Amino acid sequence: MCEINNRCNGSFAIHSTLQRHGTVQQQTKTMLLYNHMLPHRVSSKFRSIFLALLVSFTPLLTFSGWTQDTQQPIGITEELRHDVQFLTAPELMGRGVDTSGIKLARDYVAGEFARAGLRPGGDDGTFFQPFDVVVGVTVSQPSSLTLNQNESLELSKDWIPLGLSKSDNVQGELVFAGYGITVKENGYDDYTGINVKGKIVLILRYEPPPKDEKSPFKTPPEYSVHAALRTKANNARDHGAIGMILVDLNHDNQDQPELLSTGNSLWRGGNSLVAAQVRRGVLEKWLNSRGVSLNGLKEKIDGTGKPGSMTIPGAPVNLQVTLKENHERAENVVGLLPGADPDLRDQRVVIGAHYDHLGFGHFGALDRQAEGKVHPGADDNASGTAVLMEVARRIAKLPVKPGRTIVFAAFSGEELGLYGSRHFIEHRDSTAAIKTMINLDMVGRLRENRVTVFGARSGENLSALVTRSARGLGLEVTESNDVGRSDHMSFYSKKIPVLHFFTGTHGDYHRATDTWEKLNFEGMARISDLVMATALDIANSKEPIHFVSLPSRSPPKMGSAGGVGVYLGTIPDYGAVANGVRLAGVSSGSPAAQAGLREGDVIVRVGDKAIQNIEDLTDALQAHKSGDQVNVVVLRAGATVTLRATLSSRG
C-alpha cells in the first residue's frame, strides 16, 4: 500500500483517505462488501492485502443529480484519477488475462458496480460472466530441428518454434529468401529468381534499410508491415514454402534474449506454416561450412537495395513443431440498472469498456525492449473502464431512473481478440432486447475538445443525437464512417446500433509508457458527461434507435480492408474465429455489395491469393488498382461461391 501511495504524490495518505470515505462505519461497510465479493479460494493473506488496497482506492461516495446544464458533481475528476491509479498500479500486472492482477481489477469493478447499487448481471446471480480464452501456446513434444540429417539442435538453446507456427512435421531443402518480402509496386521481391515450392525458406528478421523517402521500408526503431513476422510467414506460404526459419542478424542487446518467446511471436489470425527461429551462431557455423556467409548476403541486400536470394545446395532440413494452446478462465463484469418505464424496461442499452490489457507485454506490445515489464494500459483501457464506472455511479444516483434498462459491462479478453464481448452477445437469451451499444475504448487523452465517434451512422438519428449532446458540452465530434475495431464490433455484427467513443492514438499505444500521469482527467470527466447524456437520451426515447448499415461512400484507411487507393467495401468481423475473413457486413453501394458479398460470407480467396486472415485480404487488395476486376471466393452456408468484383478507388 505504501508503494502505491508514493506513486500518487501523497493523495492517498491515510488521513485524506479517511476523509474521502467518510465515517468508520461507512468504511467498514465498504470493506465487508468487498470481502463478501472476493472468491472463497483467495487466501486470507491475499484477501487482507486486497482489502487494504481497496480502502486506499475506493472512490468517493458523493453524488448529485445531473443535468446537462449543471456543473459536474464535485469530485468526478478525482474519482476518475483514483480509479485509473488503482487499475494501473504495479500490483495489477498490466491486467493481462494470464496474470493474477486482472482478478484484482475484476473484483474492483464488481465492487464499484455493487456500491453504485447495480444489480448483478452475470451468471448465477453474480456480477461475473466467465469464459475461456486462449492466452498463448506451449511447446510440446515431439518438437525437433535437424540440419543436414545431423543431430537435432537443442530446443530453447539453439532454436525455438515461433508462436505463429502450425503443428506439423516438414522436410525439405533450405532456400535463402532474404528478408522474405514482396513489394512488387516498389520493384522489390525476395522471391524473384528462386523456387521455394515444397521447400523451407531461411528468412532474415526485420527489413532492408530505406534508400529514400519513397521506400516502403522504415528506419529502426520504426518498422513497416513488411517486417512483421506474420507478413513474412504468409508471404512464404503464398509462394509455396512448407516451412520457415527465421534468423536475427541484428541482435546486439545482451539484456534481451536473441530467440523470441512464443508469446512474442504469437499470431491469432490463423497459422500459415511450420515456423521456427534458429540462433545466429548455429546457422552461421553450419552455412560457413558450405561456403555461404549470412552476413555477406545481408550486407549485399542492405547495400544495393536489391534481393540476394539463393538456393543453398545440399542443405536438407527436418523441422517438427508441436504447440498446445494455453487456456485461462476470464470474466466479464456485468451490472444492471433496471428501467423505470414499464413499457421500455425489457429493452436494454449496453455501455461497455474492456478492462484487460497486455500484462507484461509478451503479446501485442509494440516495443520488444520492454517485454517483461508491466504495461499499465492507462489510456488503453483503464480510461474507458474508469469512465464506465463513473457513468454507472452517476446514473444510478439520479432521482429519476431511465426508462430502459442500462447494462454496464466491463469486458475481458479484448486485447486477445474481442473474446469477452463476443461471449456476452452470444450468451444472451435474446439480442433483440439490446437497442444500442456504447463502447468506451481509449478515452483518456482528450485534445482540443475533439472526440472521435465510430458507428454514429449505424443507427437512425444516432449521429444527430450525439452531435447535439456534444455541442451542449462544448465538445467537437469527429465522426468516422468506419465501425472501428473494438468490442462494439461484436454488437454491430448482430445488427445493433453502436457508438465507440475514442480520443485518439498516440505514441504510448501498446507500450509500457502508457501511464496514468499522461491522461487528461478533466477531459475524461467531460467524456463521462457526453456518454451519460447520450445514454440517457437513448434510454428515455419512446422509439428505439433503428439499425442501418454503413453509408456507401468509401471509408478512410483505418478499418474496412483495402489497399492504398483501392476499395472493396467489406466490413470484417474482427472477433470471428475462421479460416478466412468473415464479414460482419458490406457497405451499401460498394464494390463488395455490387458483387453480391453479404454478411456471414467468409472470404477465402481474392484473385490468385488465398485468404486466411485480415492481413492476407489487405495484401491481396494492395496488389490491385482501381478498376481491376477480381474473383472473390467465399464460403456461404457450407458452399463455395465465386463472385466477381470491380474494385474502385478510395474517396
pLDDT bracket for residue 24 (50, 70, 90): very low
Q: Domain boundaries in the chain?
A: 1-58, 68-120+338-540, 136-323, 570-646
More confident of the two residues 71 and 581: 581
Reported confidence tier of residue 152, pLDDT bands at 50, 70, 90 = confident
Confidence of residue 311 (pLDDT cuts 50, 70, 90): very high
- d(CA 462, CA 460) in angstroms, rounded, equals 5
Band (pLDDT 50/70/90 cuts) for residue 268 is: low
Core vs surface per residue 370-388: b (16+ CB within 10 A) or e: bbebbbbbbbbbbbbbbbb
Closest CA to 50 of 122, 110, 116: 110
Say if residue 10's pLDDT is above 60. no
What's the pTM value of the predicted model, to 2 decimals? 0.76
Indicate if the pLDDT at residue 29 is higher than 60: no
Q: How confident is the model at residue 73 (pLDDT cuts 50, 70, 90)?
A: very low
How far apart are alpha carbons 253 and 155 in whole angstroms? Answer: 21
Question: CA 175, CA 245: separation in Å to the nearest integer?
Answer: 10
Sorting pLDDT into bands at 50, 70 and 90, what band is 167?
very high
Q: For domain 136-323, which architecture applies?
A: 3-Layer(bba) Sandwich (3.50)
CATH of domain 68-120+338-540: 3.40.630.10
- Percent of the chain whose pLDDT exceeds 70: 84
Per-residue pLDDT band for 49 (boundaries 50, 70, 90) equals: very low
Q: Write out pLDDT tens, residues 470-480.
A: 999 999 999 88
CB atoms within 10 A of CB 581: 27
Higher per-residue confidence, 151 vs 9: 151
Check whether 416 has a pLDDT greater than 60: yes
Q: What is the mean pLDDT of residues 85-95?
A: 98
Taking the chain, what is the end-to-end CA distance rounded to the nearest angstrom? 54
CATH superfamily of 570-646: PDZ domain (2.30.42.10)
d(CA 156, CA 354): 35
The yes-or-no verdict on residue 153 having pLDDT over 50 is yes
Q: Give residue 189's pLDDT.
A: 96
